[in-house]
A and B are shown apart, each in its own frame.
Chain A
């Protein structure tokens, strides 16, 4: 085997990749190419609606969706609904995640607690949030308690799993260092357990928030009289697809914003980690 050829390091990667001579000609593609498809869709959408190929109740023209979105923002409708939705998600997230942090720490630190409570928790975690909706509707009706409970449950499960795993996966080697250096309980907690488990816990919190967002939309579509999810159902009932599509846009933007925000926060909290790998 030709060892010399195989032994080059990562530094040479660029020179080995086949060079694409036509790339420089398409440089602007980096910015323009991603916009081609949405542009095409918009054009087709516009043509289809203007020519009257599809009724407005099925597909309103893009301009109409845009003006509806602007109207909904301007007259405060979206803001009012968003406020309610975001309040629900905040309460549910705070309740569910803090309970998850506590419970996850308990079953992460104590094997005995995990033996007793872990299996039941993991079995119940198999039931998706969607499954809890009808059960809780029967018990609590369409009350707001229902929404908080569903969202809290959606946050509780991933936070618990991540916290217990984060603690359990702390390398034994580090625990031995703590033992050899005879660190006190407080030092072990603040200098070892928390920082070591933090990345995993944060991953869990991120997952919790995205689950909460999904659960919120579902529960608002099924059992609410206000909120972004309800707004869409209402638009659908009135066959006002512009409202429905505007709602989808808002949901997409908020989902994206939450994910970006948490990723940023996560990076800030982990400045010690190597930037790559």
Chain B
């Protein structure tokens, strides 16, 4: 476990000419081609694009589940070579272990920490995501939205500096989705951490992000990077909001 970067300023994530291809029947298939962009500390960045643009692959590279790529993904000055405690991820499916309770699931990442402190941090994060009272419940008893909050708490409990979100609200109904978007925004504000979210939902991206990376498919490339300079709370019905949405939609098609 490297501590070096923790002493310096908050890390800035730099993605520098990253390319990634899979071999299918010994033919290389490019999934990402020459992708570059930077993420400042504390920024909320969304990545949008049609399916097949490699946005989920990009997240897997950043979290370190896949280390076989060209180019560099730099955390501070260090190249990412696998999962680390400074990065957390929320997958599209909650992926809670069904045999553990909510609090046991959230505590999973805290195995090397003093039990008393671990308990405290679990309780803290359960409160943060609004699941107080559901500590001893098993995942199958939770609704989709609640399970996803538990997954967010599990990712946050290790106090990452960067939280990756892989279409975290994609499988939820629209009411729950809107509600959790606000919750996500609140958590981002409260915890002041960097968030990188992959999504299909342009409105969601505009609502939450400081910056939106628009990608195009086959192979996955960055088409444009759209800054969102709107004050929070943002109004989905406002003209400025619609204008940015329009800009992204036109960039997507």
Contacts and interface: CB of A to CB of B under 8 A. Distances in A.
Interface residues of B, number: 24
A173 B91 CA distance: 9
B108 A179 contact: no
Mostly helix, strand, loop or mixed at chain B's interface? loop
B108 A183 contact: yes
Given A174-B97, A196-B99, A181 B108 contact: yes
Interface stretch (B81-89, B123-131, B218-226): B81-89
Interface residues of A, number: 20
Contacts of B144: none
A182 B91 contact: no
B98 interface: yes
A187 interface: yes
Given A180-B88, A273-B140, A274-B140, A174 B108 contact: no
Interface string B98-140: 1110000000110110000000000000000000000000101
Contacts of B46: none
B93 interface: yes
A179 B65 CA distance: 7
A9 B95 CA distance: 27
Contacts of A174: 95, 97
Contacts of B98: 272-273
Interface string A179-196: 111111001000110011
Interface in A158-213: 173-174, 176-177, 179-184, 187, 191-192, 195-196, 198
B213 to A, nearest CB: 22
B99 A272 contact: yes
18 contacts: A173-B91, A174-B95, A174-B97, A177-B91, A177-B108, A179-B65, A180-B88, A181-B158, A182-B85, A182-B109, A187-B111, A195-B100, A198-B99, A272-B98, A272-B138, A273-B99, A273-B140, A274-B141
Ranked 3 nearest A-B pairs via Cβ: A195-B99, A181-B109, A274-B140
Interface of A: 173-174, 176-177, 179-184, 187, 191-192, 195-196, 198, 270, 272-274
